[in-house]
Amino acid sequence: MITSAALLLTGCGSGDDSSGAGAADVAARSDKIPTTDVVSGIPKDKAAAELLPPGTTHLTVAVAVGGTPPGTTYLDDGKTLTGQDVDFTKAVANVLDLRLTVEQAGFEAILPALDSGKYDFGASNFGVTDERRKTIDFVTYINDGQGFAVRKDSKLTKITDLEQLCGLNIATGAGTTFEATLEENKHLCTDADKKPYSVQTYAEQGAIWSSVQQGRSDVVMSTINGLRYAVAHQPGLKFLGEFHRLDVGFAFRKNTKLAPAFRAAVNRLIADGTYDKILRKWGTTGSAIAKSQISPPELKN
């Protein structure tokens, strides 16, 4: 049996792939990407594996390659995938004794494709929202959320109200909760008789940072963990703090039969210490959860 870890090392191509990342994008920062193997050798958990639908031995997972850790990115060979989501996916597959085929896709294309059966699940830092829960099931494994960053010369400080963004250009990822939040709240500016902010969406994280570094965008809205990593590893940036926390989970088509097994697998990783090792590797211990849940309500903090 080919191990899930081996299959996850190199992702397969997909017609939806819009990441644009590759060896040229990561070579300059490969020394900053942690490479410690914390998931190989994880044994099968029989009780968790027995929760899978009968005969389930192979699944297809969709991932979006964003270009910067702790999100999914490439090592300097331009083909080996790494990142926090990759480690969690490998670890869960080992616990459940699953073989995986990895397909790369644009972030915004993954959730709609789950219902068609094109992919069995998605693993790309998907935030759990009430709107998404209408059509998607989630199995949570971390708590991340939304935040902001700017160039160090910006006069902006902590963002606590989106009205603070009025009149500015905001760069964010296409198809994300960030884009949805920004679009849904543009009225805050017009309601206050202020110029609306402009939402600039990109399919690849590197393009977002280029936009703000070059002055085409004033602010970046992205994941809390991703922003902290970027500010720590790129000069001239500052983190403006957390805006809204969200649970993050593996994404499945609605009413999936896979969720109980995945939840049991994540909880096994929490219990045996592997979970903590993954978070420590990626510097995201602030995102730890006490237990995995299936499609919990959206956090409203």
Contact between 78 and 119 (Cβ < 8 Å): no
- Flag whether pLDDT at 28 surpasses 60: no
Confidence of residue 77 (pLDDT cuts 50, 70, 90): confident
Can you say whether residue 41 is alpha, beta or left, with left for phi > 0 and alpha for psi between -120 and 50 degrees?
Answer: left
What does the mean pLDDT of the chain come to?
89
Query: What would the DSSP string read from start to end of 25-89?
Result: HHGGGGGGS-----STTPPP-HHHHTTSPTT--EEEEEE---SSTTSSEE-TTSSBEESHHHHHH
- Flag whether pLDDT at 265 surpasses 60: yes
- Flag whether pLDDT at 268 surpasses 50: yes
Kindly list the distances between the CA atom of residue 79 and the CA atoms of 156, 186, 258, in Å, as whole numbers in the listed order.
Answer: 38, 39, 28
What are the pLDDT digits (tens) for 166-195? 999 999 999 999 999 999 999 999 999 999
Place of tokens 């009413």: 255
Confidence of residue 300 (pLDDT cuts 50, 70, 90): confident
236, HSE (Cβ side, Cα atoms, 13 Å): 9
Query: By CB neighbour count within 10 A (0-12 exposed, 13-18 middle, 19+ buried), where does 68 fall?
Result: buried
Q: Which residues pair with 65 in a beta bridge?
A: none
